[in-house]
Amino acid sequence: MTTPRDPAQLDAADPLVAHRDLFVGSESPLVYFDGNSLGRPLRVTGQRLATFVTDSWGERLIRGWDEGWMDLAGTVGDEIGRVALGAAPGTTVVGDSTTVLLYKMMRAAVAARPGRTEIVVDRDNFPTDRYVAQGVADECGLTVRWVDVDPSAGVTPELLAAAVGPRTALVVLSHVAYRSAWLTDVPALNAIAHEAGALVLWDVSHSVGAVPILADEWDIDIAVGCTYKYLNGGPGSPAFVHVAARLVDELTQPIQGWLGSREPFLMGPVYEPAPDMRRFLSGTPPVIGMLAMQDMLALVDLVGMDAVREKSIALTEYAIEVAEELLAPAHVDIASPRDSARRGGHVALVHPAMREVTQVLWARDVIPDYREPGGLRIGLSPLSTSFAEVRSGLEAVREALAGLVP
């Protein structure tokens, strides 16, 4: 074990350190370890929201629909695609919650593979993904084929190859495992599933905005992700869906709302899907819900995803260094990959007392989150987290653990 580096020196050498001041609350002593669940708001977002109320909504009123609101789902979707997904224009839209979009796209995918009877999902995938997959399977008379994985790791090519076959309609995977931060080899797993004739739906909620994604280059079929984690869209901000251009005409989603129809304002008697990504929308665009994420997308675009990822790796490596020094003697296990090439933007620390530790920390303005069994997640949003914050927070973890465990 080596002595962790000096956080002050690391912050002084950080080329992105000045951006931290752009976030609300960065000046406070509160330690925020939950950026992978809800990102801090940017200071400029308050003014954007206020101006929207007084000008766009207050003055333009319903005229706003003809002045950009109606197209915002695609406009912001294209920004997400360009800045954070590596996706071509016209292949990403914003709308609905993550759960609703997962449902829509799972139903669309299995319908596009008639005669196949299985959905492949790993048992450690995020609960919503598993619950929706089971529900879709029940609705469509399909079977879920479960993949058992090491909860401190994730789905490997070997595990997936053993699970897929001629009966596989759809594979549902997470780019970054929500519990361990395992970073999946997307191109390798896509190739295996595609060789079997299956489609793959990627949940990128725990990676978008923290880990570069190359949707087109990696041949991603479908990706769904939330926007309130590393894209800082705010509580309940709408999710997005990306569909490869080659599949847009092939997939038809099951919730046939007016906005996804070919001619919404004709109000026709029969539903015909739009010929483009709008077919994956159902109802009125969540205009207010898309405001805050636009500010974060502009900042990520300015900085660049490669620089964001470099800072993310530096933060998680430092967190592991400090955890080895302060927490390993208390029998805390690091349940995230040590190899940064296989690790996303958070670190999982496991100990039987972590649920109680989390309660103590929240009362002291140190905010991680907890995941069963015994997992304290240190979520480090690259642009709003400092190295000093990491050190201070992990010292608080040690103190809380010492107070609970004799």
What does the block give as tokens for 324?
Answer: 């080895």
Query: Catalytic residue among 23, 32, 33, 228, which?
Result: 228
219 as an active site residue: the answer is no
103 as an active site residue: the answer is no
Query: Catalytic residue among 104, 116, 279, 377, which?
Result: 377
Long-range contacts of 354-358 (CB under 8 A, 24+ apart): 356/404, 357/397, 357/400, 357/401, 357/404
Matching residue, tokens 């103190």: 399
| Sign, CA torsion 316/317/320/321 | negative
96/318 Cα distance (integer angstroms): 36
33 as an active site residue: the answer is no
Query: Catalytic residue among 107, 179, 229, 309, which?
Result: 229
Supply angle C-alpha 76, 77, 79, rounded to 5.
65
Using DSSP's 3-state secondary structure scheme, residue 255 falls into coil
Query: Catalytic residue among 23, 32, 33, 126, which?
Result: 126
> Which H helix or E strand runs over 4?
none
Query: Catalytic residue among 203, 230, 278, 309, which?
Result: 203
b (16+ CB within 10 A) / e for 301-330? eebebebbbbbbbbbbbbbbbbbebbbeee
318 as an active site residue: the answer is no
Phi first, then psi: give them for residue 30, nearest 5 degrees.
-60, 135
Using DSSP's 3-state secondary structure scheme, residue 370 falls into strand
In angstroms, the Cα distances linking 77 to 71, 239, 241 are 10, 10, 8
Residue 354 is which amino acid?
A: M
| Contact criterion met (CB below 8 Å) for 170 and 120 | yes
Q: Which residues are catalytic?
A: 126, 203, 228-229, 377
